[in-house]
Amino acid sequence: MHSQNITHRDLKPENILLESKDLDKLDVKIADFGFSCFFDPNKGLDLVLGSPLYMAPEIIEISEKISTSKLYNEKVDLWSLGVICYMLLTGRNPFPGKNKAEVKQLIISKDIDYTKEYLKVLSKEAKDFL
């Protein structure tokens, strides 16, 4: 997708589908391209959209007017995948705010705390991946 200069901008578990229940045919499909767009790798994007829990810090900084000159690129999709992987590996939300504003604040300010009990059981490779 990115090699074709397309960014999704709303990756979340609901938008990742399996083609079949057959365990020998685990073809993954990405759905809901309503927020996707073509991008110019030499320019950035500045439109704020997506689901707050999966938004990259760059998008939040634009939405909260923390940075008016900052733009984002297709790598915001990788951030979203990181959040999804965290949830799959731990069964927990990495940014457990009580409301959207608190979630956004945690996204731009919180580091992963690897001393949490539920993260201690992860392999070094899983922690490095996150």
Q: Catalytic residue at 27? A: no
d(CA 119, CA 74): 28
Separation in Å, CA 21 to CA 14, 18, 85, 87, 89: 16, 7, 21, 21, 21
Helix (H) or strand (E) holding 82: helix 76-90
- Under DSSP, the state recorded for 72 is B
Annotated catalytic residue, options 10, 24, 27, 113: 10
Residues identified as active-site? 10
